[in-house]
Amino acid sequence: MGDDRRRPGHSLQIARLFGVRVYVHWTFLVLVALVVAVYRGTGVHSLAAGLLWIVAVFGSVLVHELAHCVVAQHHDVVVDDILLLPIGGISQMRTIPRAPGKELAIAIVGPLTSLGLAVAFGALAVLTGATVWPPTLLAGSWLARLAWLNVLLGAFNLLPALPMDGGRVLRAGLAMHEDRRTATVQAAKVARVLALLMMAAGVVWDVWLLLIGLFVLLGAGAEEREESARKDDHPGG
């Protein structure tokens, strides 16, 4: 049979893992340009370290997304690809399981994997005598930095904001007690509040929070519209 999967627009395939194609979006060039600008004049070694850190960051993001994909495949969900963007990764699945238990399993495994990596890197940092406190992502032992990075990835993705992992966990939990459409509407309301808070924080502190908040706001609306368009909803999924 032929492969009918299409490449995400403006992206480059860099790998194929567990049968899932991995793409990098062209906007990564902007991220690389930012790193070059920040480390300009600091020497080749510092620039190389900065670029290598970006690779390490998105290596952790990729493991997180692969965990989603492997569990999804276990539940007979077709996974088209993983798209890596400067604000994170997206696992492109043909469908999201209607059964709350399956959606819960697929959603929660990503953050749990990130937190597992955090424990592993943290343990290695301690065993090698590295300083793990206070938390930092910008200096010190790479093991400690990777540990805190994965704590951040795991915890941030557990925020109950659709279409993030925590939002899907929230919807799955709600759908165990009421119909999926109502669960989606309620989860989307929570997501919009969190998205506005992130966007407000982004205006004050960090543009990345602004972009992520916008992504959540648009994604929550898309999830709600998609669910409202369905005609086959049943209580409990």
Catalytic annotation present for 65: yes
In contact, 159 and 169? CB cutoff 8 Å: no
174 assigned to some structural domain: yes
> Nearest to residue 167, comparing CAs of 149, 192, 148, 150?
192
Pairwise CA distance, residues 53 & 136, whole Å: 13
Check: pTM over 0.85? Answer yes or no: no
191 assigned to some structural domain: yes
179 assigned to some structural domain: yes
Which stretches in the chain have pLDDT values below 70? 1-9, 231-237
205 assigned to some structural domain: yes
119 assigned to some structural domain: no
What pLDDT, on a 0 to 100 scale, did the predictor assign at position 44? 82
- Label residue 224 exposed, middle or buried (CB < 10 Å: 0-12, 13-18, 19+): buried
55 assigned to some structural domain: no
What pLDDT, on a 0 to 100 scale, did the predictor assign at position 88? 78
Among residues 65, 223, 224, 227, the one annotated as catalytic is: 65
Indicate the angle between helix axes 180-204 and 207-228, nearest 10 degrees.
160
Provide the domain count of the chain. Answer: 1
In contact, 43 and 133? CB cutoff 8 Å: no
Q: Where are the alpha helices (DSSP H) in 128-179?
A: 142-157, 165-175
232 assigned to some structural domain: yes
pLDDT tens-digit map of 196-209: 998 998 888 877 78
Pairwise CA distance, residues 224 & 141, whole Å: 43
Which structural domain, as residue segments, surrounds residue 184?
A: 159-237
Pairwise CA distance, residues 204 & 122, whole Å: 31
One-letter amino acid at 198 equals: M
What pLDDT, on a 0 to 100 scale, did the predictor assign at position 236? 46
218 assigned to some structural domain: yes
- Residue 81 phi/psi, 5-degree rounding, is -170, 175
